[in-house]
A and B are shown apart, each in its own frame.
Chain A
């Protein structure tokens, strides 16, 4: 009997690396005013296009260099993280709530509910997502909340599809039938029996969705549709860096690395969390 209780695998290096980066980025974003070495908006044309610290001509205090207006790149990245994380959390949670609820209903009840929801998902997914997002923000107006709403409106289908399929698989299991025989109501079975078995997937998707939200926010900022104020955003910095790539490559490269690391970490973190939430895989 004892070998069945296999020793729990320790926290995997994947989880450490991904979680470590996310924690670092999150803390930096939260305490941005304290940790940022410079004011992210302070322009100084005397300090324009300073290179990062290991190159000749770097100024102390401007670790990753400055952009064409002399603003400190590291500080801008740290402050840009604030918006990235707010969007990531808010949009992913909104997306998850809408998509998972509809997916659960569609997968568990089947029949008409499933047919209607699935058709809506099909039609929804036929729109190119980025175009859809740009269109939505153009209609809703720029601003933090419209970016969040746009992401939820576009991406709920991702949750809906996956959770529907998982729910359908679980609903065919004998334990669901057993609960029917025992006299549980349908909604009770859906919430108490099926939902716990779908949670690992929801958690993984939630983390993945945070990464996607970061990308979408960056794309919208890149096309200048995100937050209309002067607040630095990763997408906005990338857009500026693109223009000055030949004079100051770092303005493009560092935000890109930050973005990629963050998105990758979210998806890896989700995968690792999934295995920890699953009683069978754990």
Chain B
């Protein structure tokens, strides 16, 4: 592989890594900045996914010129795949528990069709008092 191509690949990889890291940092800022749990879930789970994928792509590009036998692009692909498949499960459980125990600020919700539905079926989330 020519020197120039390696240099170009290096630069692309560096950009991917930096951008991915920046997205993770922004996710951290959003975590402090947003008011309630449901809004925080958006930053805790999301820009991180894109950030992580970019970091993985960066590592993958860096590894093209290098010959390794243990750690390869397949491993990176698996990391990405399982991250993408498992993050929504954790996020959903956290959001659901927070909603059901009333630990969200409903004054920030413009429209809440789930509350309407729960009220219609006789289960009001605000009546299930949040026990600390």
Q: Do A and B come from one complex?
A: no
B binding-site residues for A, Cβ under 8 Å: none
A binding-site residues for B, Cβ under 8 Å: none
